[in-house]
Amino acid sequence: MLESAQRVGLALANYEVEVEDFAPLKEANEARAELVAAIGQRAGAQQQETAWVTTSKEELREELARTAATLSDRAVAYALSVGDLG
């Protein structure tokens, strides 16, 4: 397959202008460029969509840790107040 592609490349080397002006090839290249741009935009949008989720997860973990610490402190304080820190 590689040899075949090399032969095609060598055969077309003399006809670069004709190949570049070939309408179906131009259309295919334009469609490919549009598709690449659309994929890039979608990837950027997905990255933005998931960025807040990651941030939100981290914020929730921090809040959970603070809440757990507060509850632990309150439990210790209650145990001390009733004299049951056994």
Ranges of each domain in the chain: 2-82
Position 3 scores a pLDDT of 74
- Mean pLDDT score, 50-66: 80
What is the value of pTM for the model shown? Answer: 0.40
Position 56 scores a pLDDT of 77
Q: Could you give the percent of the chain with pLDDT greater than 70?
A: 83
- Does residue 19 contact residue 25 with C-beta atoms inside 8 Å? yes
Residue 46 pLDDT level (bands cut at 50, 70, 90): confident
Phi then psi for residue 22, to 5 deg, are -70, 115
Position 1 scores a pLDDT of 63
